[in-house]
Amino acid sequence: MINRHGCVVLIGAFLGVLTGCGAKMADSVTAMKEPPPGSEAEIAKISADPMAYMNKSLTEARKVKTARMNFQRQDRVGLVPELRPMERMRTNFREQPFSVRFTWQEEDSEYLQAVYVDGVNDNKVALLPRKGLFGSKPSVVSYPPSFAVAFGKSKKPITDFGPRLMLERLFDRIEKAKPLGGTKIRHVGVAKVGPGEEECHHIELLFPKNDEFPCKLLDLYVNIHTRLPVAVYLWLTEEKRERTDQTLDAMYIYGQMETNITLSDNDFVIDAQPKQKKKAPRKRENATNSNASLRNCRPKRKIRACRFAYVESFERARTMCIESKVMQTRAAKGRSAIRYVILMTLAGMPLSAACDPAAVEKAKREAAIKALEARDAATQAAHDAKETAKPYVDQGIEKAKELYQEGKEKAVELKEKAQPYVDEAKKATTQAYEKAKELTTQAAEKVKAAATQAVEEVKEAVKPADSGGG
């Protein structure tokens, strides 16, 4: 027999188990409700609502904070758009701070590595070519991310990389297409995609003809087990659904993705390159054939001299670009200093305080407050003018309604006699409108005059006072 005290203890323990494990039990129940990956039940569920499955994929993509993958890319780029060869890159990815490193796998690729880390290297891409100039050792150069798009190297900058951003851009495009007729989304089937031949759900999206992008057909492949996007294909075709090299606009594959792994800052740097072997010194030639050797070497010396001159001119141009950037930076600092002086004057603070960051911030706040006060005053004046004119407008409208109704009733008996009343109503409406317009114009002029006066007062306050010295 269990006494009353023991029963209370058992009930309390049971409730504790329920409250402590409630979340886990709910997750387990939710997981039990989901059909097995790749099963006919799951395919039927996705076919019924493919957008819901895409939302689940976006949720999983947002959980990825770090990743390592085999990224493949093929774009149609250039002044005359042309499909470039496929690029294969071993890729490291990190969300915070946003970081990407590409390491090209092909031996004949144009580049060896590219690294971008948000907030590092002036937010530029560090790029290492596979080969240096005239066979020299390659060196790292830095470019803004937008240069890759401007010079036709890729359709998207490196700052747009990642499955999450890709899906967010896709959802944004679907939302914009709703007023144009909407996007047709359907589940095509299951296919193996990527270098690892991952089993994926194939989802097709057909956008309306007047969509802003040229590629109307899009194929999205989502991993059956992880629900992460594996590939996306963009086609320059519509209802015909032609999938060929002539219609392929872009292709991106995020293959064999390892998610939420440990990545440090060292995983987002350009790898050190092995030192090149020094060439052995040339042997001295005998006096007997020295003239012949000189004659044979002259063309080579000319080529070498031209090569050095080209390299020297390239370095000079690069130095001039750096100097121009320095001058632009100095000019920007000068403009900032002028703005600080104006802020100090408006705030009534001495110019010596411009070197104090706290004083500068205080001046910025006070100037912003004054600007908001001026804006609120102008808004209030416009509102007052509108409220002043409103009774006249309402009165004219009511009068016009009365006259129009009276004329309409009389028109039932005699249409010709009603015409003078209609004319009178129109005349009254015109007079009321002119009166309201005149009052509104007067109010606007008063607001403009007040604003002009305020500007003049500010200008007078900014002008430095004469010291009286000779």
Average pLDDT over the chain, rounded to an integer: 81
pTM above 0.75, yes or no: no
* Residue bearing the bigger pLDDT, 233 or 274: 233
Q: What does 320-369 look like in DSSP terms, one character per residue?
A: HHHHHHHHHHHHHHHHHHHHHHHHHHHTT--GGGGG-HHHHHHHHHHHHH
| Whether 126 contacts 115, CB under 8 Å | yes
Q: What is the mean pLDDT of residues 242-261?
A: 95
With pLDDT > 70 as the criterion, what percentage of the chain qualifies?
Answer: 73
> Do residue 237 and residue 110 come from a single domain?
yes
* Residue bearing the bigger pLDDT, 223 or 22: 223
Report yes or no on 31 lying in a domain.
Answer: no
Cα 243 to Cα 196: distance, rounded to the nearest angstrom: 22
Report yes or no on 140 lying in a domain.
Answer: yes
Report yes or no on 401 lying in a domain.
Answer: yes
- Among 233, 266, 299, residue at a domain's last position: 266
Number of domains making up the chain: 2
Q: How confident is the model at residue 287 (pLDDT cuts 50, 70, 90)?
A: very low
Cα 210 to Cα 197: distance, rounded to the nearest angstrom: 35
- Among 213, 233, 266, residue at a domain's last position: 266
Residue 10 pLDDT: 43
Report yes or no on 110 lying in a domain.
Answer: yes
Cα 139 to Cα 136: distance, rounded to the nearest angstrom: 9
Instruction: Provide the CATH number for the domain around residue 251.
Output: 2.50.20.10
Q: Could you read off the pLDDT of 175-206 as tens digits, one per residue?
A: 999 999 999 999 999 999 999 999 999 999 99
> Do residue 360 and residue 262 come from a single domain?
no
Report yes or no on 285 lying in a domain.
Answer: no
* Phi, psi (rounded to 5 degrees) for 110: -70, -35
> Do residue 262 and residue 361 come from a single domain?
no
Report yes or no on 188 lying in a domain.
Answer: yes
| Whether 100 contacts 161, CB under 8 Å | yes
Burial class from Cβ neighbours inside 10 Å (0-12, 13-18, 19+) for residue 374 reads middle
> Do residue 261 and residue 394 come from a single domain?
no
Q: What is the mean pLDDT of residues 208-221?
A: 93
Q: Could you read off the pLDDT of 99-121 as tens digits, one per residue?
A: 999 999 999 999 999 999 999 99
Residue 110 pLDDT: 92
> Do residue 123 and residue 249 come from a single domain?
yes
* Phi, psi (rounded to 5 degrees) for 444: -65, -40
Residue 68 pLDDT: 97
| Whether 431 contacts 403, CB under 8 Å | no
Report yes or no on 70 lying in a domain.
Answer: yes
Residue that has been written with the tokens 């000068």 in this structure = 334
Q: Could you read off the pLDDT of 414-435 as tens digits, one per residue?
A: 777 767 877 888 888 888 888 8
> Do residue 248 and residue 366 come from a single domain?
no
User: Token digits for 273?
Assistant: 């390159």
**Of the listed ranges 43-52, 58-67, 176-185, 368-377, the one predicted with least confidence:** 368-377
**Of the listed ranges 5-14, 146-155, 213-222, 294-303, the one predicted with least confidence:** 5-14
Residue 402 pLDDT: 84
Residue 302 pLDDT: 58
> Do residue 90 and residue 225 come from a single domain?
yes
With pLDDT > 90 as the criterion, what percentage of the chain qualifies?
Answer: 44
Q: Could you read off the pLDDT of 73-100 as tens digits, one per residue?
A: 999 998 888 999 999 999 999 999 999 9
Residue 117 pLDDT: 97
- Among 266, 297, 329, residue at a domain's last position: 266
Report yes or no on 3 lying in a domain.
Answer: no
Structural domain harbouring 374: 355-462
> Do residue 362 and residue 244 come from a single domain?
no
Q: What is the mean pLDDT of residues 153-170?
A: 95
| Whether 86 contacts 95, CB under 8 Å | no
Residue 43 pLDDT: 94
